[in-house]
Structure 1
């Protein structure tokens, strides 16, 4: 397993960080999703850290990183600010941000802020929906809405007793029924199960969903077009690579169909035969896409 170093941020949060590669090389910041940890991107980091400085934190609420009590501490803007503060603490200057799942959702925000300041120079997304595209699909697309019902279960306080008794694993077993989910490496899975077993950490992870403003209607609610104008989210103008495992049962391929409306310099790599956890399900294909994109 990797060696983690705690980094205290200017906002008082401490993140455990895997920091490898030459310190004077171009910096890549890797953001994991739910319900994983910094190890999500291990194959990519091991492939790239002879040429790049690779930085992978356990984000707020995960691992031994800070996990403040209260849903309000997990709003997406605060999570994005953690990453900007981490880059400042490590004196990165300019960097590329890469994110998967919830880490990708935060990476969209980090890129939107960071492109304006000049700190974020490139963006890589792996199976993480654009906030405007995803919000529209939840209203208009029956299949994506049905696939997203687990979010309602993660937010439902009626499931809190289950989490307190069995940790996060009990709720995952109840809320997710993906038929084709790939199996992680046994050592990685053991670490995740250990982390999920702590109810305090489990609720911190769930707070990412509970603090999010994204509306997930019940499956049976009528489909509807979005009312008024689209949410105010900046157009991403920096070079952006989106890598998508096409067999994802949670985030369907419809999420990549209209990305060009929101990203001006876009490369999309579709990876057939891979599901949601594409960084470790299809590491060779992801690494090849990164090599071509990063140069």
Structure 2
């Protein structure tokens, strides 16, 4: 199964590198990667899904060789959701399945909440529901401690630090400890090439800086966001959540109470870390394909 690259100018003003596979007449599915990766997050899922789907996997804005507009304001979630809808529009797709991992999952949650007319089915891999994530950052000390890296990534001096130590050292100290080293060692040159594109590191970090998620310091007393004590709209789409249970950054507490926010929910727990799509590809492929076959 071939995976074809495209350079697509979206109506949102950015150009994205996009990979497609499968029959364009088949049911469409868009796959969204997270930090600090690219469409290659889904390299094992693309050919598996393309057997009976039209698969669309972009390098999202700020990543690899896709557009990197300057300014934190260009990485707010609403702009990235707009990219997803514009990408579907480019292919003439009205309703589609949407899958996301990490930040791609955060975008997918928001797209499903805001555009139920466009998102038919939702698949999430190790990306917390926005309400539960914010809640655990206030109520779960372990999750708050595990999320302190977000505060570090928002530090405006971080790029100078990375310049001093070099991309390879940054890879080894910040990224590698959260991955299956044996499975991604050969991928390190790919990451360094993508991270080394002009403006890439700042653009990727701007996703964190543009987010409204409040991450209090460990042990600090912080004002609780008002929306945590108000009704939160449900996800109306059938939803599959795949969770690598050895994730060190996004803890299994993100599954607690999820069913009250997602009435039509299936959860598959996998013995893997945060980067479950390529750490446990066979299990993820089976979960996605079986679930989509049932729901379609």
Scaled by the length of structure 1, what TM-score is found?
A: 0.92
User: Where does residue 197 of structure 1 map in the other structure?
Assistant: 196
CA displacement, residues 57-93 of structure 1 (integer Å, 9 cap, x when unaligned) = 0000011111100101000111111001110111112
User: Where does residue 285 of structure 2 map in the other structure?
Assistant: 287
* Aligned counterparts, 1:190-229, within 5 A: 190-198=189-197, 200-222=199-221, 227=226, 229=228
Scaled by the length of structure 2, what TM-score is found?
A: 0.91
CA–CA separation in structure 1 for the residues paired with 2:120 and 2:104: 17
User: Where does residue 46 of structure 2 map in the other structure?
Assistant: 45
* Aligned counterparts, 1:242-257, within 5 A: 242-257=241-256
SS at match of 1:4: strand
Change (3 A) 1:181 1:219: farther
- Offset at residue 159 of structure 1 (A): 2.0
User: Where does residue 55 of structure 1 map in the other structure?
Assistant: 56
CA–CA separation in structure 1 for the residues paired with 2:39 and 2:227: 39
Aligned length: 292
CA–CA separation in structure 1 for the residues paired with 2:230 and 2:190: 38
Provide structure 2 residue ranges, at least 5 long, that are not aligned to the other structure: none
Give the conservation status (yes or no) of the 8 Å contact 1:105–1:129: yes
- Offset at residue 119 of structure 1 (A): 1.7
CA–CA separation in structure 2 for the residues paired with 1:183 and 1:145: 29
User: Where does residue 157 of structure 1 map in the other structure?
Assistant: 156
CA displacement, residues 233-270 of structure 1 (integer Å, 9 cap, x when unaligned) = 53111100000000000000000111112111000111
CA–CA separation in structure 2 for the residues paired with 1:275 and 1:223: 30
- Offset at residue 208 of structure 1 (A): 0.2
User: Where does residue 95 of structure 1 map in the other structure?
Assistant: 96
CA displacement, residues 86-133 of structure 1 (integer Å, 9 cap, x when unaligned) = 101111121100000000000001111221xx2211000000000100
Cα RMSD of the aligned pairs, angstroms, is 2.2
